[in-house]
Amino acid sequence: MRFELKDYHRNVSNEELINDVLRVKMIYGKDTLTKAEYKVYGKYSCDTFLSRFGGWSNVLCACGLRVTKLQAAAAKAAHNYAHVTDEQLICDLLRVSKIIGEVSFSSTTYDEHGAWSRDTYSKRFGTWNRALKCAGLQPYKQCSSRKIDNAKILEEIERLWVKLGRQPTATDIRNGESIYSLNTFIRHFGGWRNALIAFTRYVSEKDEQDPVADEQDHPAVTEMPINPSLPESALIAQDVEIGDTQKHKTPREPNLRLRFKVLQRDQFRCCSCGASPAKDPGVELHVDHIFPWSKGGETVLGNLQTLCSKCNGGKSNLL
């Protein structure tokens, strides 16, 4: 199993971008295309299109596709954001301050009540706290990212990957999907892409719970199927039994590396009902032992499967 990042398309031409939009448009068989639809089958990041063309409606025009009324309205709103004055931005900060009764608040809180986007403030003032200072408000104090352990940040990347069902982007972080700011990832790893590289390297390393890191590199080893028809002894420890219990070779809980391997192998979906957080944000995925731990099942890749909380609760320790 391999965990690889999408190609980094810094020098892609406008023609290549347009051709890829047209390719995805043919898949849907429509005369228009939304950003969300392009993300499913597209080869490039939507950020690349926005930086090149200035907006998704401009992308559609360049491709000769139809611009819907909703997309036209969004383009008009973006134009208005670009022409808003500093005074208007500051006045809106003060308005939100009065609504919530606080002299300091996060950009996420502002998004719930504000008239403009947080990106507008970042582009205009540089940082959120600088915008608050210009409005005569108090800086918003967050936990220092330097106190956050790198392991916690890797866990957050895993959470985002599972929730979205795809590789998370810097835009997802800016849009508030993460509990950490984009600057936190930058401070710890030197950049968002470096953080992704650190994560994929980590989950691709060999693991003491799963000594076979890549099946293709070890063809002699066969991975257990999700619903094995093998005898129970194939999934349990071969150590000497002590009473009614079995001595385990592996800890009960899979670590982050093994957990992510199982989730990605199962395409971030419940193996029983197919539920996915990408389609239903209320879905919580668990990594479950196929042959129960309580009956001697080991914490190895072949004996683990992805289940949603409902299916896992119903399964308990049944075979």
CATH number at residue 303: 1.10.30
Position 93 in a domain: yes
Same domain, 184 and 121: no
Question: What pLDDT sits at residue 75?
Answer: 62
Same domain, 193 and 117: no
Position 6 in a domain: no
**Domains held by the chain: number:** 4
Same domain, 93 and 168: no
Same domain, 123 and 199: no
174, 204, 234 - which closes a domain: 204
Same domain, 232 and 299: yes
Question: What pLDDT sits at residue 164?
Answer: 87
Same domain, 306 and 267: yes
Position 48 in a domain: yes
Question: What pLDDT sits at residue 145?
Answer: 47
Burial of 166 (C-beta count, 10 Å sphere; 0-12/13-18/19+): middle
Same domain, 227 and 302: yes
The tens-digit pLDDT sequence of the chain (319 residues) is 455 566 555 678 889 999 999 999 999 888 888 888 888 888 888 878 877 887 788 888 889 988 887 666 666 556 555 677 889 889 989 988 888 788 888 887 787 777 777 777 887 888 888 899 999 998 876 544 456 788 888 889 988 888 888 889 988 888 878 888 888 888 888 889 899 999 888 887 765 555 544 333 333 333 333 344 444 444 444 443 333 445 778 888 888 778 888 888 988 889 989 988 888 878 888 899 988 888 888 888 888 999 998 888 766 555 5
Position 209 in a domain: no
Domain limits for position 167: 145-204
Same domain, 151 and 124: no
Position 4 in a domain: no
Same domain, 272 and 197: no
